[in-house]
Amino acid sequence: MRRLVLGVVAAGCLSGVAHAEPVTVRDAFDRSVTLPAPPQRIVTIFASNTEMVAALGLADRIVGIEAYTRFPPEVLGKPLVGGRLGFSVDAVIAERPDLVVVTPSRQAANQLIDPMERLGIPIVVLLQRSVAEILDNIRLLGRIAGVAGRGEALAARLQSRLDGIKQRVAGLKAPSTVMITGRLGNGLLLIARPGTYTGDAIVRAGGRFGLESSGAIAQISPEAILQADPDVLLFAGSEKDLKELIARPGWKDMRAVRDGRAHAVVRAELLIPGPRTIDGIERLAEIFHPRVAKR
């Protein structure tokens, strides 16, 4: 896994105070991006990037978000620059950003990188393929924004919580787990898989994969899940939707359902890669190992 590499031109960036010296970073697309000064007007594409910037205490610098952002509350009135139908270059430019933070989902990077580069607006691409990369991104954003101390401190606090979980679940038998993350119109189900931050969260919480998919999108038939018969069934969504699913023929015979180990989990904690992912891992640890994994 390639980590983000940061080359800091400015001195004294660890103080947590914004400086005016240029900073050069290399992003997840291996692009060299130079910011002449800490950005004050940031457009954050996707909820994950918005949550990380806000967690650094920089919600007031965010001037544009995309339509699916729901957290934190203080950013919800910000102008929208995209949504289901794509991302508007004109809407981004209208907010006069000095930084755009994007993730290559829903073609966002493809739509925005070239126009932003032509206009001289710094744009940084982040990937979150693991929990460790989430922490790397927090550090990177802190340094870019001139608040490196905050980024290091936040990442350290989150890492300390992860270390605590690791210690509590060490040596315990990992239950086989299937996490359903979505349902498709063709009847197939999406599941968490290895090589993703959600899959990493399951392992860090003391679970193991009960059914693996090698596809780029983990589409699984309900019959495959029933045949896997995991120890724990997780459903990223509401308790109501979970109950509707397991009421279907065959599901009540699954071991996890019979043993009362079918659980709804919070989508925002496990499907949005940001600081709240650590909350999700702590809750998963309590589900997997309820006697020992309490915070």
Domain ranges of the chain: 5-157, 172-288
User: Is 32 exposed, middle or buried, given 0-12, 13-18 or 19+ CB atoms closer than 10 A?
Assistant: exposed
Alpha-carbon torsion, ordered 56, 278, 70, 190, to 10 deg = 140
Compute the Cα dihedral for 113, 116, 118, 120 and give only its sign: negative
What confidence score (pLDDT) does residue 105 get? 85
What confidence score (pLDDT) does residue 219 get? 85
CATH architecture, domain defined by 172-288: 3-Layer(aba) Sandwich (3.40)
What confidence score (pLDDT) does residue 71 get? 96
What confidence score (pLDDT) does residue 294 get? 56
Q: Do domains 5-157 and 172-288 have the same CATH topology?
A: yes
pLDDT, tens digit (0-9, with 9 covering 90-100), for 136-157: 999 999 999 999 999 999 999 9
pLDDT, tens digit (0-9, with 9 covering 90-100), for 37-65: 999 999 999 999 999 999 999 999 999 99
Q: What angle do CA 211, 212, 218 make, to 5 degrees?
A: 110
Do residues 2 and 126 lie in contact, with contact meaning Cβ atoms separated by under 8 Å? no
Closest CA relative to residue 284, chosen from 193, 183, 162: 162
- The set of residues, in sequence order, having a beta carbon less than 8 Å from that of 152 and lying 6+ positions away, is 14, 139, 142
Residue 2 is encoded by which pair of tokens?
């390639």
Compute the Cα dihedral for 131, 133, 136, 137 and give only its sign: negative
- Other beta carbons within 10 Å of 90: 8
Do residues 220 and 191 lie in contact, with contact meaning Cβ atoms separated by under 8 Å? yes
Question: Does domain 5-157 sit in CATH 3.40.50.1980?
Answer: yes
Residue ranges, the chain, pLDDT below 70:
1-20, 212-217, 293-295
What's the rounded Cα separation, in Å, for the pair 251 and 232?
13
